[in-house]
Chains A and B, each alone.
Chain A
Amino acid sequence: GENVEQHPSTLSVQEGDSAVIKCTYSDSASNYFPWYKQELGKGPQLIIDIRSNVGEKKDQRIAVTLNKTAKHFSLHITETQPEDSAVYFCAAKGDSSYKLIFGSGTRLLVRP
């Protein structure tokens, strides 16, 4: 069935360093890949997304890359700041589907 695997489950970086979170999806029909940031006690916040006709997308300090052949997509955060500390979720969605399939989440800690 549809599945999204996410790694690592936890990630600790020094402020100013980069962080990379990786996801793999199983459904080859998936064509939309959003990333969400969830802070404690809040709902997931859409931070960036990419569609299958694009290989890379960047928005200030965050970027997402997509490798359709390998069914991999990754989130890159540069110049990390303490306020980047949160749980990050990747997700995938296919054209014929109404639902997002989420990964299990990555808890990112940025140490001051």
Chain B
Amino acid sequence: DAGVTQSPTHLIKTRGQHVTLRCSPISGHKSVSWYQQVLGQGPQFIFQYYEKEERGRGNFPDRFSARQFPNYSSELNVNALLLGDSALYLCASSLNANILSYEQYFGPGTRLTVT
């Protein structure tokens, strides 16, 4: 069984550029959440999507956006990149967005470096 997959694994961008990160959830899972993990810290919640709709948003600026596709895969977009956006971006998959569906399974992440 394939777990959560993310692409690319590593990315280097320049300040002001735009980036798109991709995630495919575990087969059968319909909800995807995005987290940002800065070096040495715990993951911080960015978004949750279920059935192509945003169900939750963390304390991140509007430069961050996401969407979910009919096959439940998801993209995270970040515009006007800042040095502080350098982090590991994690995608987490869960069965659905039912608040009783608690377990979230993480992918390997995309390491974004902004220079």
Q: How many inter-chain residue pairs (CB < 8 Å) link A and B?
A: 62
Which residue of chain A has the shortest Cβ distance to B109 in the bound complex?
A: A43
CA distance A103 to B42 in the complex (A): 6
Assess whether A105 is in contact with B42, with CB atoms less than 8 Å apart. yes
Residue B56 is within 8 A (CB to CB) of chain A in the complex: yes
Contacting residue for B97 out of A45, A98, A102, CB 8 A: A98
CB distance from B7 to the nearest CB of A (A): 13
> What residues of B have a CB within 8 angstroms of the CB of A96 in the complex?
99
- Of residues 1 through 48 on chain B, the ones whose CB sits less than 8 Å from some CB of chain A are 4, 33, 35, 40-45, 48
> Secondary structure at chain B's binding surface: helix, strand, loop or mixed?
loop
**Using a Cβ–Cβ cut-off of 8 Å, how many residues does chain B contribute to the interface with A?**
25
Q: Using known A-B contacts A42-B108, A44-B90, determine if residue A98 contacts B33 with beta carbons closer than 8 Å.
A: yes
Contacting residue for B103 out of A34, A97, A104, CB 8 A: A34
Q: Using known A-B contacts A43-B90, A99-B56, A102-B44, determine if residue A49 contacts B107 with beta carbons closer than 8 Å.
A: no
Q: Using known A-B contacts A42-B108, A44-B90, A99-B58, determine if residue A49 contacts B42 with beta carbons closer than 8 Å.
A: no
Residue B106 is within 8 A (CB to CB) of chain A in the complex: yes
Residue A73 is within 8 A (CB to CB) of chain B in the complex: no
CA distance A41 to B39 in the complex (A): 11
A/B interface sample: 8 pairs, CB < 8 A: A44-B106, A45-B106, A96-B99, A98-B56, A99-B58, A100-B45, A102-B44, A105-B42
Residues of B within 8 A of A (CB): 4, 33, 35, 40-45, 48, 55-56, 58, 90, 92, 97, 99, 102-109
